[in-house]
Structure 1
């Protein structure tokens, strides 16, 4: 392919890029051994490496469709069957002898099943003696003893690299730890004195692509004795049973990616071995071994290295816990103190005041915000309220569990670049989702210098067909990068402290919720009793009041002629007062019934309802000139028709009543919402309501004018209107300009 068909892109890439190279199915093997694919149950040979003539003096085509009996005797075949059955005595490697022409050659047989076939790999060995368990024990026991005595992760790594280099004889042995962003760091190294040190250098994520990580996670040892060895293709190319490439994930001879060969060559490495380090089921790192010349490691030594890698993997979590032990102990002490304060408190706000800066110490933060009951309660350095609101709305959508953390907030949430000196890192706890209780902790940006083993901005070749090809780096010279928009990472023990804090806080929140539920129940019972009392009191008051009204009327009729003017006026006043008192009692009685009255809901044509109400209002006010303007096609709403007629009757009557203008106008219209609801408005050009009275207008018996102005009134009408709307699950509010008019808005649902 010509260079014009390639595009070189310089960019920072991660390990997730698809490089279109499936390293577990390369269709070839390395040439330091041979591979046979057997079909069960008879062990017929269906696929082989093309180098059988080199090792067995038999061309590959002469082995195909033959039975394994052409190479092995019945005892050796039985050993293979025992191995596949899981018999401990016959585990890999099996010592196999094969007659090759005039000589007998010895091999280590490594056997495994994969995708319905048996893969038998043969590596030549020098003698027939096998490494027994006592030799294995003598070799590994002193090392395990050292590992167990290691105090922290640093000592553990130092022991392992030294011992594995001693066992294998590699020029360099390193421990390479993966970080959260998939980049790697050399955290331990043992090497020849004249070699350049790699300790402390970072390697970009793409140095170990995800396809390679997937294999390392299940196949723990990988050896490449010679990167310049001849490629050994498989014959036939594909597995005859599936007509697909042979899966060599667990093969010891699996061919080496052409990219990896170039990569090692550019490093000056000819032989290599890697051992996987797995922590809690996830690839944590690698023991990487390099040699400047050809380096073959016998199978029994590879087993020892794999065993030590697994022993180290077991110890990694414990040794990581021992790192920064003093800091952890101090932190745990503060966390215990905070938990004690919380457990003895009944009020979350008091807790915040009492623990003060300890809220920051428990996770090593410099600022914190507790969002509770719609308010922000801050400690230390935090963004402003508007920035917190936007951040909290964003982070709610990011949270997959009840905790969220990042040490690169300005990168994944660009608005945070404006306050990176406060929040380069963020840790969030969701205490209660429905009640919206959150705790946010902040850490400032910490610019740091990272020493890379070569420029992390990596050239990638894109072929003319769009395929991406991995280009191995040509330089491993130290390259420095200033990393911005990052905070110090949140450590596992800090996140654990935050979770303990949540557990304690949830106790307070749940107690508070329980108390509120109890109070709500008591209020509900109290309101019910109050409604009953109001009804009974109102009903019982009407009888003596009616008697006073009647006797006063009788006195005026029977003794009006003998009473002087002053006496008659007093009786007339008494009659008016009793009538007003009865109106107030009737209104109160009606209001008390609203709380218990069953609603008879149905779809209501608002056009018809407004027309009916308008007609009644006009008939009731024959001496007043006014105009009612109704928007066409008012929506259909859902509710109790009789009660809603009363709502609009009250609002239209008030609009006419409280209006001094000659041209009195009442407008009725609506606005659609995104919800299944409509907002209906009743607008007038009347006297308006002063702003200071707009919050109290719906309170019972609240009148803004003297009882004789604007035709009097009980001061209960708008209270009843509000009660009816709320019983429908709706909402009522107003906008008004004093002297210009008032608009009442009612939100009502279109359906149940």
Structure 2
């Protein structure tokens, strides 16, 4: 059993510090841990006697009746009820005194925390603050840059709470922080544009900032108040108070603040798209308590800033993505019109570099290497491609610090510190590689991040110096954006289609490989029995026809015959290319390739697919709603993206012409399954008539020009490959719901 009282914390283990069972609270309020059914006291903070006429030592086993009048107790019983996951605020009365009551459940017990009640600000001050907040929101929307929005935010927070220092702290991809805006009182040390290492806010603390978005330390130097007894007599273990409003901070964090000369803090999380983007960090040189109303105001301010950050990001990303798509279309059109793909790669006027912020690109294809821009030299590139073929297994790889994973890259870091790789063919060592140069950057740190203090006892202390310290950053490029990653993958997909179109001589070899794979795996899944007929009809027959056309042309080599033969040959090639695309998609799922499982953030998957389908959503005016109760899954990301894409695109594709499409995407957990569903109000399916062939290959149920009968088949294959199942419910003329359930 973990016991915080026996835990010696320092910088070497603070990321594992069990702060959830710290057993102490801050002294500006009191805590009661109660039996949920009887309201008997299981644990109590020692300072309750400072707020009520009672003694903490005699409360164990007593009900709240001993702390309240009969009338008060009757009201308490009505208020002290809530859902397991809920955290609620109630205003309650004990012994004639009013308190803010913060209420949540933990390990089956009821945790009640109380602060003295403070009336909302009234009169002229309240009117001025309300008016100022309204003005702040309007001004925030008018600012064009993120920095201007951040500066406006810190100014208003300081106006509202009158702290010595208010900083807006933004995380980078490595969880280092930078102060991008600041408002300080005269004489205070400025940290504007200073960086702080990720170790200052370790992973455990960042996770807490997502759950507890407003956190106050009213007096850094105040003596903590113990919860007695430390071991809960009902559970036999310390109580988990991680969601507590009053929980005392980590000792090492308090020491860190004292080293900064700070006596009071307020931190408000900035959460954008469900992720921790940054913090509004407020510091005061003297102890200072903020009442609930002001803490709530700060939370509203942070949320308003998070909303404009999200709006700013979406606007920028969509504009850039559309530019990339237009340029990719022009590039592919030129390549498609070239009589020879390899010649076209050398001669096209539009370049691969237009599809990224990269400064160099290399494409390995058909045993040749095509390059543009600033790249490693020939020998360096050959060794890098060899390393990629041996180490990149997921089809896509990107880093902004290549020398960290591939040591020889240090020799060419000025040209290529950033690398993005998308695989065309691992077997043939064919890849698309983008390069970004080393970013010449000087970072200003608040103290030297690598430097720690160690006592003679061996205890590693928080750093004591926050003086300006400059570091020249080497070996890193600017990060790869989501748009760059998506565009590169789309480009590779289109290149593969062109390669297949230009490699007719390899079709027979591919046919043999597919037949061989089919023979090996036919016992695994009866769906692979379809391959024999597909290959015989869709590949061999066109090849025979092409041979016949060739004989016909040789017998009648007139111009009119040539034009007809070429038109017919072109149609056959396009059909074969489409068939090969279908076969490749099916094989990727049916052949049981090794799947890479990872932690996947479901809102990101949904957002990505909605972006990919944005054109249809805008065209149809579709309304997409989400209710994601489960946000994280452990699964192959590419499968989840494919499944989500097929279900959402079908919901749009089979919309009703009589009403605006409405789509609901939900996720939830039931027993040992995680489920998600996509519901639409489209044309619906007659399940009684076609339900038995719903997931068959090439089965279609509506006369839609885009229907191929592949998406649902592929979705079922992928779901079952993950050990799950898919169900469908539908009413003709009303809509359809597809539900996917996977094992936890």
Per-residue CA deviation, residues 458-503 of structure 1 (Å, 9 max, x unaligned), is 2164998xxx955222111110111111223223333343234234
Q: Secondary structure at the match of 2:20?
A: coil
Structure 2 residue 90 is matched with structure 1 residue 94: yes
Asked if 2 retains the 8 angstrom alpha-carbon contact of 1:95 and 1:109, the reply is yes
Matched position secondary structure for 1:182: coil
Work out the CA distance in 1 between the residues paired with 2:505 and 2:27. Answer: 76
- Contact preservation (8 Å) 1:177, 1:185: yes
Residue 473 of structure 2 corresponds to residue 480 of structure 1: no
Q: Report what 1:80 is aligned to.
A: 79
Contact 1:173 1:189 (8 Å CA) reproduced: yes
The counterpart of 1:106, out of the listed 79, 89, 98, is: 98
**Which residue of structure 1 lines up, in the alignment, with residue 167 of structure 2?**
174
Aligned position for 1:507: 497
Secondary structure in 1 matching 2:21: coil
Are 1:423 and 2:416 an aligned pair?
Answer: yes
Larger deviation, residues 260-269 vs 276-285: 276-285
Q: Structure 2: which 5+ residue stretches go unaligned?
A: 1-9, 512-538, 548-744
Contact 2:389 2:426 in 1 (8 A): no
Equivalences for residues 226-305 of structure 1 within 5 A: 226-305=219-298
Output one character per residue of 1:504-559: Cα deviation in whole Å (capped at 9) or x when no partner: 32432444467742687669988xx9xxxxxxxxxxxxxxxxxxxxxxxxxxxxxx
Would you say the 8 A contact 2:455–2:461 is kept in 1? no
Question: How far 1:294 moved relative to its partner?
Answer: 1.2
Q: Structure 1's 423 and 57: CA in aligned 2 closer, same or farther, altered over 3 A?
A: same
- 2:150 and 2:318 mapped to 1: Cα distance? 18
**Alpha carbons of structure 1 residues 224 and 246: separation in structure 2 relative to 1, 3 Å:** same
Closer/same/farther in 2, CA of residues 460 and 245 from structure 1, 3 Å limit: farther
Structure-2 change in CA distance of 1:260 and 1:525 (3 Å):
closer
Q: TM-score, normalised by structure 1?
A: 0.61
Residues 648-688 of structure 1: per-residue CA shift (max 9 Å, x gap): xxxxxxxxxxxxxxxxxxxxxxxxxxxxxxxxxxxxxxxxx
Looking at structure 1, the residues matched to 337 and 182 of structure 2 have their Cα atoms a distance apart, in angstroms, of 51
Distance (whole Å) between structure 2 residues aligned to residue 408 and residue 18 of structure 1: 27
Match in the other structure for 2:110: 118
1:575 matched to which residue of 2? none
User: Which residue of structure 2 aligns with residue 540 of structure 1?
Assistant: none
Residue 651 of structure 2: aligned partner = none
CA pair 324-496 structure 1, distance change in 2 beyond 3 A:
closer
Report the CA distance between 1:374 and its aligned residue: 3.0
Flag the 1:414–1:128 CA change in 2: closer, same or farther, 3 A: closer
Q: How many pairs were matched up?
A: 505
- Change in Cα spacing, 1:371 to 1:293, as seen in structure 2 (3 Å) is same
Q: Distance between the aligned counterparts of 1:396 and 1:216, measured in 2?
A: 40
Mapped partners of 2:102, 2:135: distance in 1: 28
Secondary structure at the residue paired with 1:245? coil
Please state if 1:445 is matched with 2:438. Answer: yes
Write out per-residue CA displacement over residues 139-183 of structure 1, whole angstroms, 9 at most, x where no aligned residue: 754433333333232233223222222222212111111111121
Deviations 1:697-721 (A, max 9, x none): xxxxxxxxxxxxxxxxxxxxxxxxx
Whole-Å Cα distance in 1 between the matches of residues 200 and 368 of structure 2? 47
* C-alpha separation in 2, matches of 1:383 and 1:405: 16
Q: Is contact 1:80-1:111 (8 Å) kept?
A: no
Give SS of 1:176's match. strand
Q: Residue 52 of structure 1 corresponds to which residue in structure 2? A: 48
Task: Kindly indicate whether residue 456 of structure 2 is the aligned counterpart of residue 456 of structure 1.
Answer: no
Q: In 2, Cα distance between the equivalents of 1:38 and 1:514?
A: 76
Distance (whole Å) between structure 2 residues aligned to residue 118 and residue 351 of structure 1: 71
| Alignment-derived partner of residue 337 in structure 1 | 330
Counterpart for residue 69 of structure 1: 65
Q: How far off its partner does 1:215 sit?
A: 0.8
Counterpart check, 1:492 vs 2:482: yes
Alignment of 1:464-613 (within 5 A): 471-512=461-502, 516-517=506-507
Correspondent of 1:144 among 119, 137, 141: 137
Deviation at 1:279, TM superposition (A): 2.5
Which SS does the other structure have where 1:273 is aligned? Answer: strand
1:388 to 2:381 alignment: yes
Tell me the equivalent position of 1:34: 30
Of structures 1 and 2, the one scoring higher in RCO (CA 8 A, sep 6+) is 1
CA 29–515 in structure 1, closer or farther in 2 if over 3 Å, else same: farther
Describe the SS at the equivalent of 1:194. Answer: coil
Separation in 2, partners of 1:397, 1:459 = 38
Secondary structure of 1:441 counterpart: strand
* Alpha-carbon distance in 2 for matches of 1:395, 1:507: 23
Q: Is the CA contact 2:335–2:345 (under 8 Å) kept in the aligned structure 1?
A: no
TM-aligned CA deviation for residue 188 of structure 1 = 1.3
Conserved in 2, the CA contact under 8 Å of 1:423 and 1:445? yes
Aligned-pair Cα RMSD in Å? 3.7
Where 1:278 maps in the other structure, the secondary structure is: strand
- Matches of 2:279 and 2:392 in 1, distance apart? 31
SS at match of 1:217: helix
Q: 1:100-141 CA deviation, whole Å, 9 max, x = no partner?
A: xxxx3221111111222111000012459999xx99986754
Deviation track 1:351-391 (CA, whole Å, cap 9, x = no partner) reads 42244672123212222111112332222232244433332
Matched, 1:225 2:221: no
How much does 1:412 deviate? 2.2
Q: Distance in 1 between matches of 2:240 and 2:24?
A: 11
The separation in 1 between residues aligned to 2:164 and 2:413, in whole angstroms, is 44
